[in-house]
Structure 1
Amino acid sequence: MTKAICVTRRGALQGAAGAAAACATEGAGMADELPPWRRYAPPGSGATAPELEHGEISEADGWRRYNAAIEEVRELILTSPLTNHDPQTRAEALAILPQIQAQAYLLAVAPRQDYPRFYLHEYFDPSIFSYNLPNPDFVYRTAFLDGRRIYRIVGRRGDCAWVNFQAFNSFSGVGNANPRALGNWDIDGFVDDANGELEIFVGGPQRERNWIPLDPESRNNWLLVRHLVYEGQSLPPLRIEAADGLRPDTMILSEGELGRRLALGGEIVKYIVTRMTYARVQEVVLREAGGTNAFHTVVGRDEKDAKDGASPLAAYQIAVYEIEPEEALIFEVAPPPSRYWSVQLGDILNQTRDFVHHATHVNDRTAVADADGRVRIVLCSGDPGTSNWLDAMGSVFGRVVWRWYGAEHVETPTIRRVKRVDVRQYLPTESRGVTAAERAAQLRRRRDFHAGLYGF
C-alpha cells in the first residue's frame, strides 16, 4: 500500500502520523545511549566559541583543535556499527576522512573574502568531492563572502534547465552563534538586459531588483548556487567580484587568523561527519523510517532553519538500503507533476556514488514509465536488463535519496526485496528491457556528457 504525503504551503507533512509515532517509540532511548558528540543536532544548537567567529587563535592551538577533531571523526568511523556493516562499507567510510580534510582547507582556510571567487571543481566534483550527497544533475558553485562588503555577480542565464541561489550567514551554521538562512532566489526572478547579460548585487543596502542580502555581522557568509543541467545542456558563465571600491585586505593570513581557520576547519569536519551525516542517519532516517529498506520523508521547507544547505524548494525521501549480494530492491512510485525529480545512491556516510561511469541515478527525463504511469526502478549490482537501473556497485548497504522539486504532493515509494534473477517476475510484462548494447551506449553518453561538463 502506498503512502501519500501532502506538502502544504507551510511545509507540513500530513499522513502516516501513527506509523511515525510507532517508529519514534521503537527508537526511544537511542539518543540517550549515544555520547553527545554522536547525537544529531542542527547547527547553532550548541554553544559556539566566540573566537571561531571573529577572534584569533594561536597556530599551535588551532592545529591542536583541528587534529583532535580529525581523531574524533576517525574513532567514530572505526567503531560505529553503521560504518563497519561490511568490508566495502567500512572502506568507503574511511575514505571520507581525507576527503573532508581537503574540504576543511577549502571551506575554512582558503577563502579570501576580499578577493571573491566561485568554487566549482573545488566544492563538489565527480569521484573527488562527493560528501553531502551532491545531486548528479546539479552543478554547484559556492562562494564565501564578508557581510560588510558589496559584491557583484555577472553572467548569463544560459540554456540549463534552472539556476537557484541560496544564501546563509555561515557554512552549515558551523562557527556562528546565530546561524541563519538568508534566502532563496530563482535566476528567472532576476532581470537581465537586452543582450541576456545578468548583473546581481550581493550584500550592502537593499536594492529594488537583482539583489541578494548578506549578514553584515558575519565575515563568512555562504552563497550556494545550484545549476540543473540535463544532458545536452551547458553550464552558464557566472563570475563574482567585489563592487564597493574598498581597498582589499592582504591575501596573507596572520598567524592568529590561520589558527582560527584551522580550528574552524576541524569543527566543519566534525559537524559534517558526526552530526549531519552519521547521527542524522541513525537518529532521524532509520528511526523515522522504522529501519532499513523504508523511506523517511523530509520537506525542505520544514528544515529551512537547519541552515545546512537543504533546499526549501524540495521534498527529500531518504532510505538506508540493505541487501545481500544476489538480491535487488524494486522501487515503485507514481511521479506527481513537478519541476524536477531524481533518485540516486550514496554510501552510508552520504558520499554520492560515482555517476560518471556507473548508472547510479535516474531522473525525470531518463526514467521510463510503464503503461500504468508508474515508474519502477531496480537497485542491484550487475545489470538486470531493465530500463530504470541503480547500480549498487557491489555495495550491500547505503543510502537512496529521492528529490522532488516543485511537487505539491509526493507519494512514498514502495520497496520490494527480491532475488536479482527474479526481478522480471515482479515487473509488468510490458515493462521495457535494455540490451547489453543499449546499456553500453547509455553509459557512454553519460560518461561523455559529464566529462564535457566538468572538463576532464
Structure 2
Amino acid sequence: MAHIPSPHPVATASQHAQELAALELVQHPVVKAAHTEVAETWLSRAKASPAMRERFEAAFEEVMFSAAMWSSNQDPLHPRVTCITRLAHPVEGRSVPGSRWGIDNPDTVYRVVPISGSERYELRGRVGEGRMTENYFTLWNQHMGTVDVLDGRRMHVEPDGSFVVTIDSDPAGDRPNHIRSDDTAHELYVRDVLLDWGRDDPNSFEVHRLGPPPSRGRWSLDEQAERTAAMMAHFADFTGKLSYGTYKLPPNHFSLAWSADHTGAMRSQVYVAGRFLLEPGQAFVIDVSDGGAEYFTVPLSNIWGTTLEIVDRTGSLNKAQSQANADGTWTYVLSPEDPGVHNWLDTDGLGEGILTLRMAEFPEGGPRPDLAATGRVVDLADLDREVPHLRRVSSAERAEQLAARRASYLRRLPEGSL
C-alpha cells in the first residue's frame, strides 16, 4: 500500500474502515441476492448495444459498491463522513472497487453525511492550501431537493485554515457558517470540485453530532443489508432513467439548459446533456463559449452511469486541462482514435456514449450572452480543414500530458489505483 500523508483529507482511517466494512456487507446473502436481481432487471430494461453491454459488469460493480458505501452511512444518530465516487484502490492488501455512479463529475470529491432536522451537528475542518474554485455544502431532502446551501468558497475560515459549519433548525444568529435544517432534512452532500488537479485541495472535515448520547445503537448487519439492497435497486433505477432521458435525444446534438433543483443537480449551474454516436473514422467536434464561467468540464460516460477512463486517458477535460482558442472559446475533438490534438476527449474505443458538460461560477448577474455549446460530426481525415486552429501534439507530448494527469489525480487517491 502506498504511503499516505497524514492527515489526508479523503483517505482517512474512517474512510478505509467503511470501505473494508462495505466489502463484508456486499457478501451478505440479502445483498448478494439483490445484486443478481438488480443486474437482471437493469439489463432487461436497458436494451444496450453490444459495445455498452461489454462495459456492464465493470460499471455495475462500481454502482453497486457505491450503493453499499452510501447506504452504510445513512444513520443521522451515528453520522460519519463518507467519500463516494472513488476509483478502485487497495486498502490493507484488499482490492476496494470503485464507487462511481449517476454520471459523476471526475473533478469532484463527493462526500455525504446523514442529517436529521431534529438533531444538531457541527462540521469541524480545515481548508487546503490550494483553495477550490467551486465547493458547496448542500443539505438535501430525501428526494435530493435542496433544503439549504453553504458556499464553501465564501465561508468564514480562520487564519489557520480551520472552519466550523453548524447544522440545525435554528436561525443562524451570529454563526457565520450555518446550514439551516428542517423536518425534511435527510443528508448533507458535499461537492469539492478540483479544477486544477495538481493544485486544488479538498477540504478536510469531520462531523460531530451534538447533544445527549444517541437513543439507540447502530443498525445491525441484517438491518443494514436490507437498506443496502434497497439502495442498489434505487441506484440502478435512477441511472437508468438518466440514460433513458439522454438516449431519447437525437444523437450528436445537444442544447444548453439551466439545471433544475432536483435529482442532485446543483443550483445556478448550466448543464449540457447529450449523446454521441460515431461511425469508424468519425469525430465529434464540440465548440464551447463559457459565458464567463470560472469552471466548466466536459466528461464522458457510458449508459451505466460511470465515467470513462479518467486517469490514464482523457475521458474528461476541464477548463484548466484544456487549451483555449485565441478568441477565448474552446474546441474539443471527441473520438475513439487519437486525433493528435491537445483537447482530445478519449472515448476509450467507444463509438457511442453520453456527454455531460457542466458550467459553474458565473459572474454576478449570471452568464454572459455569449454562453453557447454546439457540436458537429466530422471525418477524422478532415480535421486539418475543420479545426486548423487546434494545437497539435506529438506522441511524446501526449505521453507527458497523460503522465501529468495521472500524478495529479493520485493526489486525491494516494492509495494508488488498481
The TM-score, its normalising length taken from structure 2, stands at 0.80
Distance 2:34 2:81 in 1: 30
Alpha-carbon distance change, 315 to 401 in structure 1, aligned in 2, over 3 angstroms: same
Alpha-carbon distance change, 153 to 382 in structure 1, aligned in 2, over 3 angstroms: same
Deviation at 1:403, TM superposition (A): 0.3
Report the 3-state secondary structure (helix = DSSP H, G, I; strand = E; otherwise coil) of the residue aligned with 1:200.
strand
Name 2:107's counterpart in structure 1: 137
Name 1:418's counterpart in structure 2: 378
Deviation at 1:442, TM superposition (A): 0.7
Report the 3-state secondary structure (helix = DSSP H, G, I; strand = E; otherwise coil) of the residue aligned with 1:447.
helix
Alpha-carbon distance change, 205 to 422 in structure 1, aligned in 2, over 3 angstroms: same
> Which deviates more, 375-384 or 109-118?
109-118
Corresponding pairs, count: 369
Distance 1:242 1:360 in 2: 37
Name 1:187's counterpart in structure 2: 152
- In the TM superposition, 1:16-415 aligns within 5 A as 67=33, 71-78=37-44, 80-81=46-47, 83=48, 85-86=49-50, 88-120=51-83, 123-127=84-88, 128-158=98-128, 159-161=130-132, 162-170=134-142, 173=143, 180-208=145-173, 209-216=176-183, 221-229=186-194, 230-249=196-215, 251-254=217-220, 258-259=222-223, 261-274=224-237, 276-282=238-244, 284-287=245-248, 289=249, 291-300=250-259, 303-304=260-261, 306=262, 308-407=263-362, 408=367, 409=369, 411-415=371-375
Deviation at 1:332, TM superposition (A): 1.6
Distance 1:74 1:231 in 2: 37
8 Å Cα contact 1:143-1:224 kept in structure 2: yes
Alpha-carbon distance change, 431 to 105 in structure 1, aligned in 2, over 3 angstroms: closer
Alpha-carbon distance change, 440 to 251 in structure 1, aligned in 2, over 3 angstroms: farther
- C-alpha offsets along residues 388-424 of structure 1, whole Å, 9 cap, x if unaligned? 1000101111111100113425744222222323322
Distance 2:112 2:370 in 1: 29
8 Å Cα contact 1:369-1:376 kept in structure 2: yes
Structure 1 runs of 4+ aligned residues shifted over 6 Å read: 62-66
Distance 1:70 1:311 in 2: 33
Alpha-carbon distance change, 151 to 320 in structure 1, aligned in 2, over 3 angstroms: same
Deviation at 1:199, TM superposition (A): 0.9
Report the 3-state secondary structure (helix = DSSP H, G, I; strand = E; otherwise coil) of the residue aligned with 2:356.
strand
Task: Kindly provide the amino acid, as one letter, of the partner of residue 181 in structure 2.
Answer: L
8 Å Cα contact 1:70-1:269 kept in structure 2: no
Report the 3-state secondary structure (helix = DSSP H, G, I; strand = E; otherwise coil) of the residue aligned with 2:236.
helix
Deviation at 1:440, TM superposition (A): 0.6
What's the C-alpha RMSD, in Å, of the aligned pairs? 2.7
* Higher relative helix content: 1
The TM-score, its normalising length taken from structure 1, stands at 0.74
Alpha-carbon distance change, 280 to 384 in structure 1, aligned in 2, over 3 angstroms: same
Report the 3-state secondary structure (helix = DSSP H, G, I; strand = E; otherwise coil) of the residue aligned with 1:241.
strand
Distance 1:297 1:69 in 2: 36
